Amino acid sequence: MDYRLLRSTVEAQPYPLLFVTISGAHLYGFPSADSDYDLRGVHVLPPEDLLGLGVPTETIERSQARENPGDIELDLVTHDVKKFMRLMLKKNGYVLEQLYSPLVVHTTSEHEELKAIGKGCVTRHHVHHYLSFARNEWNLFLKDSPPKVKPLLYVYRVLLTGIHLMRSGEIEANLLRLNETFRLPYVDELAARKKEGTERGGLGQADVEFHEQEYRRLTGELEEAGRRSTLPERPTATNALNDLLLRVRLGRR
């Protein structure tokens, strides 16, 4: 992973950044040799952009294609800090995965503070995010004919992340690390196929039927984990996020 090239892209962004981390297949533990880099982060709009007549740039998206050998392909998305904080308060597990990604391209002291505060954004209602997310990923898996390995890995990644979060209150998005606990025998094989670039090979009907049973079983486990979760009903971090937002926006330490 060439962090130097990734940082050069980040440094070209127009606004100050609180953090940029790597998401996608690299975070989930099963990148192929040709996987692109999904960079996600938070930028800080200056007060004049918010107070003037113009429309503030809450989200910035930038893509870089692979044009020559040795190039990297990447997709960079950053949200303004206020938008990101609002997403944190809306049982959005996806943004928390970005916040806590251990693959850090750019960080600040405010990033560390945001991670500490973010623990107060996790509630038992995040179960609904992961149930909906898993259902969407399963439908994408079934769209291919025959179904492929890559979208199936995403199904399991979402389900195990959700179950782990409901049971422990911790964000863990790496499927292989999660499977050290869940010990699903087929996960390592599927991940190996993905890493080797053979994920485009289709799955047979018997495989699809087996994985449908597993999808339904793990969905049931996620629902049960949500019912049994001791996580709070509502976020407790609103005031702390508001305080950090004002300090960041006004340039106070």
The pLDDT tens digits of the residues spanning 14-48 come to 999 999 999 999 999 999 887 889 999 999 999 88
pLDDT band at 112 (very low <50, low <70, confident <90, very high): very high
Choose the weakest-confidence range: 76-90, 103-117, 185-199, 233-247: 185-199
Please tell me the predicted confidence (pLDDT) of residue 71.
Answer: 65
pLDDT band at 122 (very low <50, low <70, confident <90, very high): very high
Cβ neighbours around 16 below 10 Å, total: 15
**Which residues make up the CATH 3.30.460.10 domain(s) of the chain?**
3-122+234-250
CA neighbours within 13 Å on the CB side: how many for 149? 21
pLDDT band at 196 (very low <50, low <70, confident <90, very high): confident
Greater pLDDT, 1 or 50: 50
Assigned architecture for domain 3-122+234-250:
2-Layer Sandwich (3.30)
pTM of the predicted model, to two decimals? 0.92
pLDDT at residue 67 is higher than 70: no
Name residues whose C-beta falls within 8 Å of residue 144's C-beta, 6 or more positions apart in sequence: 151, 202
> In terms of C-beta density within 10 A (0-12 exposed, 13-18 middle, 19 or more buried), how is residue 83 classed?
middle
Beta-strand ranges (E) seen in the chain are 17-23, 37-43, 59-64, 74-80, 104-106
Mean per-residue pLDDT, 174-199? 90
Please tell me the predicted confidence (pLDDT) of residue 200.
Answer: 60
pLDDT band at 253 (very low <50, low <70, confident <90, very high): low
